[in-house]
Chain A
Amino acid sequence: MRHLPVIAAAIFTVGAHAETPRDFLARFEKEAGTAASAERGARFFTTKQGGEWSCASCHTDKPTQAGRHAKTDKAITPLAPAANAERFTDAAKVDKWFRRNCNDTLNRVCSAQEKADVMAWLLSLK
């Protein structure tokens, strides 16, 4: 049992570089148990959800364009996969940023449904 986390981490790392944005949509939809809604994702992304910031505060409400960190003003590369091929290709990064940014914008973790909706919307952007 002691080696279980190590084995899990190894599997996780191997999988980390083989992901595509659609894999994350599929994963979150599966976890949520329902189909994602791009329309719901757009609303979730662009409006405040309890915290001081919304997703759009840094990523803008058109995430095919570059954003700026709401506090530090640091440039942020586009989030939408159509505009930035590096996005949503590494599970460790995706999980890290959802964990942190949901905490900052919702003061809690995001549900699988919320993540699926955001993925669906981001993937719909051209």
Chain B
Amino acid sequence: MKPIIAAPLLALLAAFALPAHADRYNVPKNAAFEEECASCHLAYPPQMLHADSWRAMMGDLSHHFGSDASIDEKRRTAIADFLVANSGGRKTGNTRDAKGKPLLRITETARFEKKHREISAATWKRASIKSPANCTACHKQAAAGYYNEHSITIPK
């Protein structure tokens, strides 16, 4: 009986182990995206949200998580197109809430929550981290698209 269980178990373990190594996002170069978005925060990989989430976010930049992030219309549509074209993907999953409304915060997506379930509320509040949106605090190579477990250092 044992070898029969062991084979599927190994396959299952391998499937769980994979995402840790696959947490690398290839963020295509886009000057407008980098200038406008990354001036206030990390250039979050477009793959972390689905197209509908990006459309909703780019539709109301004047109220962007409590800040006025409005930009001129030409750039707004260009960046929205870029985000939509590179959105979602195999790992992202659904980025809508229970009612079907597109989520705007990457930190509220199921994938983010699952990946960070071991992080306590107190840890998030550390002065050295400040916010779950501050990827670089722990993922030192986040700006280059690397989020895998081997490049994590949680600061005190």
Contacts and interface: CB of A to CB of B under 8 A. Distances in A.
B153 to A, nearest CB: 16
Specify which of B40, B42, B133 lies most central, judged by the most chain A CB atoms within 10 Å of its CB.
B40
A71 B68 contact: no
A72 B137 contact: no
Contacts of A71: 65-67, 130-131, 133
B67 A100 contact: yes
Interface in B32-74: 38-42, 62, 65-72
Interface in A94-126: 96, 99-101, 103-104
Contacts of B40: 69, 72, 74
Contacts of B130: 71-73
Contacts of B77: none
Specify which of B67, B133, B137 lies most central, judged by the most chain A CB atoms within 10 Å of its CB.
B67
A104 B134 contact: no
Interface string A72-88: 11100000000000000
A73 B128 CA distance: 9
A72 B65 CA distance: 11
A122 to B, nearest CB: 18
A100 B70 contact: yes
Specify which of B65, B66, B68, B72 lies most central, judged by the most chain A CB atoms within 10 Å of its CB.
B68
B67 A73 contact: no
Given A71-B131, A73-B137, A103 B41 contact: no
A104 B69 CA distance: 9
A71 B62 CA distance: 16
A105 B102 CA distance: 28
Nearest to B70: A100
A96 B71 contact: yes
A69 B69 CA distance: 13
